[in-house]
Structure 1
Amino acid sequence: MSSATSPALGCIADDYTGGTDVAAALRRAGLSTVLLFGPPEPSLALPPCDAVVVALKTRTTAAAAAVAQTLRVRHWLSERAVPRLYLKYCSTFDSTDAGNIGPVTDALLDVTKTPMTLICPASPEHGRTVYRGHLFVGDTLLSESSMRHHPLTPMTDANLVRVLTRQTPHRVGLLPLAVVRAGRDAVAAHLAGLRAAQVRHVVVDATQDSDLDTVAAAADSLSVLTGGAGLARAAGTIMAKTRSGNREFARQVSAAGPGIVLAGSCSAATLAQVEQARSAFPHYRLDPAATPDPATMLRQATAWLHDHADAAPVLIYSSATVEQRREALAAMGPDTADILERTLGSLARSAVDLGFRRLVVAGGETSGAVVSALGVNAVVIAAEEDRGVPWCVTTGLPALGLLLKSGNFGEPDLLVRAMKAAV
């Protein structure tokens, strides 16, 4: 049974930047929130909180492995009497026809014996909207955005009903915008009709934050929800009205010291941010086409970091254009992305050893590699630098300020601005 000190919501995110994004949204909604990295150990003591977010690295793993890790976390949450689950994935629905959104969602529904859930990646404040089941990035269909060139999960179909139908054997339906705009009762009636028709997954139209508020109110009885940070924020706002007394643990700690930017994302947003940072800071590019041997690449980059430790803030990046990625793949082979992530993780560890205390990391996979290399498993969520991009402060010593940025998030000057911020 849940209690006043048990979390009201357990959120499982499929990558580390997705975890920070949704943790920031829940904190903004008024819920005290703990963020954990990786499947928690059974003995981990969870401080009193309203919501706990567990960030995994399952977005691009094999579907079976993603399901197994997610169910392990769900079991950990159920042992702590967490009554409601939220599966957080990217607002651009990053996935392939093999998963992992469909298989992981089905596994959670099966284990909780939940007949239906929402599929709601819309995050209007970030320009991600859904209309007639089609996902837009700004004014552009997902399939015509830069996501169509994503090296791991190229999104070439904007119709989420079609995309999800290829990932699950169960029926996929739609909650149209006209029904959402008709209000809570209309949404509840529409969902009841879809459930009677054996629809298991309901793709949600939403173009404004108020649409998400309506949907969250109508779906308040669903024990499993899925989506981006937008629906989590809306659901969290409702929960916060009935929660109190779990705020004392969330004291703000600070991290001060030299800063470093580590960028691995190849998204258009990150490439623009890296370009500004190159103009502002000493910088070093990891270039597999020029240095295809991983050991040599790491040795040379580490030497550069040592030489420039007194010039902080500095930038080390592997972010690359489509053509540069082709050249890197030809030179280093199919493991290029994994090698670059491990290299950036090793450089993060070297940076901390050299006295760097503030790390800005661009890209979900890169963030996962950095957090793992540093051995960080829990953080306090501090202020957001941009919406969905909060500073996270470690609770151990030395205190580190981590800003883990999804590749697509942030204003063009984010990396430069973050290095000037006090944490």
Structure 2
Amino acid sequence: MTEPPLVGAIADDVTGATDVAVAFRRNGLRTFLSFGVSPGLDVGAETVVVALKTRMIEPDAAVAQSRAAWDWLRRLGARRVYFKYCSTFDSTSRGNIGPVLDALADATGAATVVTTPSSPEHGRTQYEGHLFVGDVLLAESHMRDHPVTPMRDSNLPRLLRAQTRETVGLLGYRDVLDGEAAIARRLAAARADGVRYLLADAVTDADLRRLGRVVANEPLMAGAAGLAGGIAAALAEKRGEAAAPLAARSPGETAAPLADRRDEPAAELAAGGPREAISAAPLEHQAPPPPTGPAVVLSGSCSKRTLEQIAYLRQHDRPAFFLDVSATPDAAALADTALAWYDTLPADAAPLIYSSVEPERLHHIQQRIGVERAAAILEDATGRIAHGLAARGVRRFIAAGGETSGAVVAALRVDGGLIGTEAARGVPWIHSPTGDLSLLLKSGNFGEPDLLARASASGGDDVPAR
């Protein structure tokens, strides 16, 4: 009988799902990524991540899809769920972080949910309730001018309060530095005061590991991939203790609780009930060998880093086709033209097909075509192109941007896959269960300037992350 997953995760976009899946896999947990709810799949994994596209849709639809994902994870036997949102807290006063949190908190019965967008490896940190991107406040970063969710406030409690009917509190950095017992005491006090959401300061990975040890047994946790990594480390640590040979323990010694072994009060306060046993036998990651066939790069992200990656490809003479939605505001016509161009290339060309543009040009396009119409046309065109390329034998798809990644996944009708090696930090290869496709789905700001070039090169599946 297949063991139930230790934890399930629900991500609000596709690239965010890959990021959180990596956090689990790095800690030795066999991880399956499902694109949407896939009831017929035999996932056979210790962690199951459901990739949704709920970040930018209407709040009611986001809530409904997230509840459906939770219902599926619950049927699989998951006792914990992690709601993954963007490390730059992409949202508006309508949501969708708050409404989805409200729905999942009610569904899981979570009294107080610890959450943080902190992800130090990506330069996102929370301090005194304020979100920093690198060394600048969120509202002073590039996210200030995001085309859909401009972030003009850096105060996270204030941002979340605007989106939820529940009480929001802060778990400050002094408590985090003081260790698991202090964190757990603050969590217990928040519960007693009726605080539903506790935004936790975290500046380093060590901070996130401390938080992870305390909250790993909570029914609902939320944040970016950073806290997910802390939770995964705690679960893996517990499993390692269970697997340790008896000779390595002192006479009469038993495995310690999930919270810090030095701080029994933390274990008592954070547990919220009896701790479940974690299998002593770690599962090996068995992904099918990646295909070595033709590759293509599809990019719709307009982030600064993606534009740098596109420039790198162009500077190295990679064939490139620009999807000019201003000149051709028709998805079918755009796709047909792009595929006809592809047919003129050699099989190993690994070309770039992109709609990514600088902010000023993006603004001009949106003014002329309309924000929603331009996005819909390009998403439709990208899906048609991906479908046509697969029919032409492309087996490695590298997608830059959340909406682009979602369009590719939908067009290829990929239900899910096992998480493989990382081409860059937080950017793993995803291998379909049948082994005939490999996907690299990149969040806009992730990866070094040469990532798209390396990943799409011959043998790109084996190119190590930098």
- TM-score w.r.t. structure 1 length? 0.95
Give per-residue Cα distances to partners, 1:364-389, cap 9 Å, x unaligned: 11100100000001111110011100
How far, CA to CA, are the matches of 1:75 and 1:306 in structure 2?
A: 44
**Matched residue, 1:294:** 331
Aligned to 1:17: 15
Residue number among 386, 396, 403 corresponding to 2:440 in the alignment: 403
Query: Per-residue displacement from partner, 1:186-226 (whole Å, max 9, x unpaired)?
Result: 11111111221211111111110000011111223321000
Q: Paired residue for 1:308?
A: 345
8 Å contact kept, 2:332–2:384: no
Q: How does 1:7-406 map to 2 (within 5 A)?
A: 7-41=5-39, 43-47=40-44, 49-241=45-237, 242=239, 243-245=279-281, 247-248=283-284, 250-280=286-316, 281-310=318-347, 312-333=349-370, 334-396=372-434, 399-406=436-443
Q: Alpha-carbon deviations, 1:269-317, whole Å to 9, x = none? A: 1111111112221101111222233333222222112222535110011
1:30-72 deviation line (CA, Å, top 9, x unaligned) = 111111101223x43332x211111111111111111111111
Cα RMSD for the two superposed structures: 1.6
Q: Percent same amino acid at aligned positions?
A: 47
CA distance in 1, matches of 2:220, 2:18: 20
Q: Give the letter aligned to residue 251 of structure 1.
A: A
Letter paired with 1:59: R
State the alpha-carbon separation in 2 of the partners of residues 63 and 370 from structure 1.
Answer: 24
On the 8 A contact 2:330/2:377 being kept in 1, the answer is no
Q: TM-score, normalised by structure 2?
A: 0.87
After TM superposition, give the deviation of residue 126 of structure 1 in Å. Answer: 1.0
The 4+ residue runs of structure 1 with deviation greater than 3 A are: 243-246
Segments of 5+ residues of structure 2 without an aligned counterpart are 240-278
Alignment check: 8 A CA contact 1:147 1:267 kept: no
Residue deviations 1:232-278 (CA, integer Å, cap 9, x gap):
11111111232444625623422111211100011111111111112
Cα-to-partner distance string for 1:317-355 (whole Å, 9 max, x where unaligned): 111112211222233334101211111121111111112
Contact 1:252–1:382 under 8 Å retained in 2: no
Q: In structure 1, what is the Cα distance between the partners aligned to 2:198 and 2:343?
A: 52
Gaps of 5+ in 1: none
SS in 2 for 1:24: helix
Higher relative contact order (CA 8 A, sep 6+): 1
Code of the residue aligned with 1:45 in structure 2: it is: D
CA contact (8 A) 2:303 2:444 kept: yes
SS in 2 for 1:335: helix
Kindly indicate whether the alpha-carbon contact (under 8 Å) linking 1:10 and 1:85 is maintained by their aligned counterparts in 2: yes
Q: Does structure 1 conserve the Cα–Cα contact (< 8 Å) formed by 2:212 and 2:233? A: no
Q: Distance in 2 between matches of 1:321 and 1:301?
A: 21
Larger radius of gyration: 2
Residue in structure 1 matched with residue 455 of structure 2 by the alignment: 418
Moved more, 304-313 or 208-217: 304-313
* Structure 2 Cα separation of the partners of residues 326 and 332 of structure 1: 10
Contact 1:293/1:332 (<8 A) preserved: no
Distance 1:345 1:197, change over 3 A: same
Answer yes or no: is the 8 Å Cα contact 1:24–1:388 preserved in 2: yes
Contact 2:329 / 2:377 at 8 angstroms: preserved in 1? no
Q: Secondary structure at the match of 2:218?
A: coil
Find the aligned partners of 2:91 and 2:358 in 1 and give their Cα distance: 21
For 2:280 and 2:364, the matched residues in 1 are separated by 55
Q: C-alpha separation between the residues in 2 aligned to 1:378 and 1:27?
A: 15
